[in-house]
Amino acid sequence: MREIIGDIPPQKAHTSEELMERRVLGAGTNDAERCAEVLAAAFADDPLMAQIWPGSAERKRSLPLYFRTSLRSHHLAGGGVDIAVGRDGDATSVAVWDPPNHWRQPAVSTLRAAPHLLQALGTRVLAALKIRRALDHHHPKPAHWYLVNIGTRPALGGLGFAGALLDTRLAVCDETQMPAYLVCTREENISLYEKYGFRVTEAFTLPASGPTMWSMWRDPETP
């Protein structure tokens, strides 16, 4: 892992001095496992994931392999996977970003990942493909950083770890004057993203009477 911003400035600490020691690190190719573990825990009850795997036991079993595979086969290579760690150095929160014009996974690497993806998706392959198609259909065309997933270990929520990750990557967006995009999977998270400058541009439902998703866009702040 490489450090990308060092210690979080004191004014960003939410509760105690210990939190000042949060750091944001750029994930390397060896970090798939630890990132997948955090994301699987965070997304265990996510509405989009529940649409892919309706049974919670199957979902919990499948998510680590699913995240590991997508990180290894696509996202890590883009250099936009960020990890927030606390004093103990454990990964607490993970943000998966695809850089501008890299959100669509090339067919070759999708094919290479297919055996693991099929293992993770099991009988839900078709449902997952339909959801993928719906997400792609609503994906905006102008260049942008794409926040694919952000998740914090449930026991360590509300301590500013996800906020530190958002601040870090959105600062890059502002420096390079690049917009950012995400799909919000829970209505209660909309206000979180609004705090960081995102605005809802569209609401749509997932196939098979699925849950509502919100497309959110952020124009870079002008210096």
Binding residues for ligand COA (CB under 6 A): 42-43, 46, 93, 150-152, 157-163, 184-186, 188-189, 191-192, 195
Q: Which helix (H) or strand (E) holds 136?
A: helix 125-138
Question: Which tokens go with 27?
Answer: 């994930």
Q: Roughly what angle, to the nearest 10 degrees, separates helices 125-138 and 107-121?
A: 130
Of residues 54, 37, 40, 62, the one with CA closest to residue 119: 62
Closest approach of ligand COA to the CB of residue 127, in Å: 19
160/210 with CB nearer ligand COA:
160
In this complex, which beta carbon is closest to ligand COA, that of residue 178 or of residue 184?
A: 184
Please say whether the beta carbons of 115 and 107 come within 8 A: no
Cα 4–chain centre separation: 18
The nearest distance, CB 185 to ligand COA, in angstroms, is: 4
Residue with token string 């998740």 = 151
Q: How far is the CB of 173 from ligand COA (least distance, A)?
A: 17
Pick 116 or 186: Cβ nearer ligand COA = 186
On whether the CB atoms of residues 215 and 181 are closer than 8 A, the answer is yes
Query: Under a CB-based contact definition with an 8 Å cutoff, are residues 78 and 28 in contact?
Result: no
Secondary structure (3-state) at 95:
strand
Task: Quote the CA–CA distance of 53 and 62 in Å, as a whole number.
Answer: 8
Q: How far is the CB of 124 from ligand COA (least distance, A)?
A: 20
Longest dimension (CA), the chain: 50
Closest to ligand COA by CB, 160 vs 220, is 160
Shortest Cβ 158–ligand COA spacing (Å): 5
Count other Cβ atoms within 10 Å, centred on residue 217. 17
Give least dist CB 75 to ligand COA, A.
Answer: 15
